[in-house]
Amino acid sequence: MRYKEPKHRTILEATKEELAQLLEKSKNDNWKPIYHIHPEFGLLNDPNGLAYFNGYYHLFHQWYPYGTTHGMKHWAHLKSKNLVEWTREKVALIPTEDYEAHGAYSGTALEINHQLYLYYTGNIKLDKINRSANQCLAIMNGEGKIEKYAFNPLIKGIPEGYTGHVRDPKVFKKNDSYYMILGAQRVNETGAFIVYQSSNGLDWNFLGELTLKNLNQSLGYMWECPDYMEINGKDLLIFSPQGIEPQNEKYKNLFNVTYAIGMLDLETLTFEVESFDEFESGFDFYATQMFKGKDGQTLLFAWAGLGEFEYPTDEFGWAHCLTFPREITIKENKVLQMPAKELSLLRLDRESKSDRCQGVVLIENKTNTYELNVTLETNNTNLFGIHLAVSDEEHLNLEFNKSSQTVTLDRSKLKHQFVEEFGVYRQSQLTIGDKVEVKILMDNSIAEIFINQGEVVFTTRLFPLKTSTNIEIFSDQFMTYQYEKYDLKQGIVKREDDLEVFNR
């Protein structure tokens, strides 16, 4: 008998009325983003299977239909011509088979022989505590039809030496061979990566463990979501280890995302680490996935959330969103992250101003769906910054401090607090000279803040009151500021035939 809890229910088991109710409950929530990918209802987590294939961007994400907890995971699917305007497609993977009995977990896409191979983990619960995993495949053909591979699973069960926590295949091609890196947990409860190799993408051989050389840091009990890309001759490995201890202002989230730049050698199964750091400085950020865009650029999406916390949208029956797509570059062995240039396709009205200020300048603003680009000339100032989602009752505070050379994002002055047990601010070191550049993407309940061309980036969710839409620039001494603000348009297209999308 298959182990089963009430949350182990696929969308196929929903009645029409139940679906209509789920849609109704979540429909009119003002906190829904308009250009960040989010679920109509239910819970979204990791981005999956990202690819530019046959003239379209395809994006899948982890999705549980029946509420805001982590239940039976499906792969939801969206499609776009230009990376910013998305339509919702039919649910791509519904875990109906024994080899994926407790969820179609995260994975990646690779084009092989003009088809898009979608690799994922079939999660298996043996009982309430114990689990196993199978590595599986679904194939999207040239017409966009997705079918599970007839001989699934590709890899059955767990290799010796590891616990049931083996998942999240990252598949790529190198030197005429296919490789799969999986996140894993050793039986001694430490995190690791294991590697498989294949000549056709279907038959896989276990190679062994990937050694991260020169890494003098212990990295927790399980490594999730291995993410790998070669960028201009450098290898970038991003991953989501669980169980890193906080170090001063770093690694303060429950789980954190880290990256290593260096050289991957698949002959010796080593990754020679040249630099290593936390990937993002914000609160709500996890499970990244990179892929190559139309023009060969490296793009990244991440889950703007993490863990199993309660969020204020739970009462409306939906949870979480993805980040806006980011373009990733490497400069002097550091990662830079900026919003994809396609952002400009969403721009509507532009407003701009340049002036000098001391104290607080109010920018009256009517919505929380905008792009804000600010340049601050800070020769004489020490403390300065920007307040977002401002009303008499609350604001989000971005503050630069020259004497300590830090930037802080503080959400303690927001009305709706959430996940506050992990601290209400995040801080990063920043070389603050005479000029600071800030780009902010605000989208109802998410803000992404890019500082100095993506050297420091903060992602945060926020759940402001309807009236908290103003912006302020502040400074302790005279400072010259310049800003331009664009209203942004709806990027996630609503479909008339919503029910059809969820029930096939």
Minimum CB distance to ligand FRU, residue 385 (Å): 32
Give the x/- contact pattern for ligand FRU in 277-296, rule: CB under 6 A.
---------xx---------
Cβ atoms of 428 and 278 within 8 Å: the answer is no
By CB under 6 A, the residues from 116 to 155 that bind ligand FRU are 121
Residues in the interface with ligand FRU (CB under 6 A) total 13
Minimum CB distance to ligand FRU, residue 222 (Å): 8
- Nearer Cβ to ligand FRU (38/167): 167
Minimum CB distance to ligand FRU, residue 43 (Å): 9
**Among 105, 196, 311, 324, which residue sits at the site for ligand FRU (rule: CB under 6 A)?**
105
Q: How many CB atoms are located within 10 Å of the residue 173 CB? A: 13
At 314, give phi and psi (nearest 5°). -55, -40
Joined together, the tokens standing for residue 180 give 């799969």
Q: Which amino acid is at 45?
A: N
The SS3 call for residue 500 is helix
Cβ atoms of 14 and 349 within 8 Å: the answer is no
Minimum CB distance to ligand FRU, residue 221 (Å): 13
Taking the C-alpha atoms of residue 226 and residue 75, their distance in angstroms, rounded to an integer, is 18
- Nearer Cβ to ligand FRU (422/425): 422
State the burial class of residue 321 (Cβ atoms within 10 Å of its Cβ: 0-12, 13-18, 19+): buried
- Nearer Cβ to ligand FRU (121/444): 121
Torsion, Cα 57 58 64 65, to 10 degrees, reads: 80
By CB under 6 A, the residues from 443 to 482 that bind ligand FRU are none
- Nearer Cβ to ligand FRU (170/402): 170
Minimum CB distance to ligand FRU, residue 130 (Å): 17
**Among 11, 19, 45, 136, which residue sits at the site for ligand FRU (rule: CB under 6 A)?**
45
Q: What is the greatest pairwise CA distance in the chain?
A: 72
Joined together, the tokens standing for residue 132 give 């196993």
At 3, give phi and psi (nearest 5°). -65, 135
Joined together, the tokens standing for residue 331 give 């400069």
Minimum CB distance to ligand FRU, residue 115 (Å): 23
Cβ atoms of 390 and 470 within 8 Å: the answer is yes
Rg, the chain, Cα only: 22
**Among 106, 337, 368, 381, which residue sits at the site for ligand FRU (rule: CB under 6 A)?**
106
Minimum CB distance to ligand FRU, residue 124 (Å): 13
- Nearer Cβ to ligand FRU (287/376): 287
Q: Which amino acid is at 410?
A: D
**Among 148, 167, 402, 485, which residue sits at the site for ligand FRU (rule: CB under 6 A)?**
167
Minimum CB distance to ligand FRU, residue 103 (Å): 7
Q: How far is Cα of residue 331 from the mean position of the Cα atoms in its chain? A: 22
Give the x/- contact pattern for ligand FRU in 198-237, rule: CB under 6 A.
--------------------------xx------------
**Among 36, 73, 411, 439, which residue sits at the site for ligand FRU (rule: CB under 6 A)?**
73
- Nearer Cβ to ligand FRU (103/454): 103
Enumerate the β-bridge partners of residue 212: 271
- Nearer Cβ to ligand FRU (225/430): 225
Q: Is 46 in the site for ligand FRU (CB under 6 A)?
A: yes
Q: Taking the CA of residue 120 as centre, how many other CA atoms within 13 Å lie in the half-sphere pointing to its CB?
A: 33
The SS3 call for residue 102 is coil
Taking the C-alpha atoms of residue 260 and residue 272, their distance in angstroms, rounded to an integer, is 9
Question: Considering only CA atoms, which of 143, 46, 34 is closest in space to residue 84?
Answer: 34
Q: Is 492 in the site for ligand FRU (CB under 6 A)?
A: no
Is 46 a residue of the active site?
yes
Joined together, the tokens standing for residue 348 give 């509507």
Q: Taking the CA of residue 339 as centre, how many other CA atoms within 13 Å lie in the half-sphere pointing to its CB?
A: 28
Q: Is 323 in the site for ligand FRU (CB under 6 A)?
A: no
**Among 89, 100, 168, 410, which residue sits at the site for ligand FRU (rule: CB under 6 A)?**
168
- Catalytic positions, written as ranges: 46
Q: Which residues bind ligand FRU (CB under 6 A)?
A: 45-46, 62, 73, 105-106, 121, 167-168, 224-225, 286-287
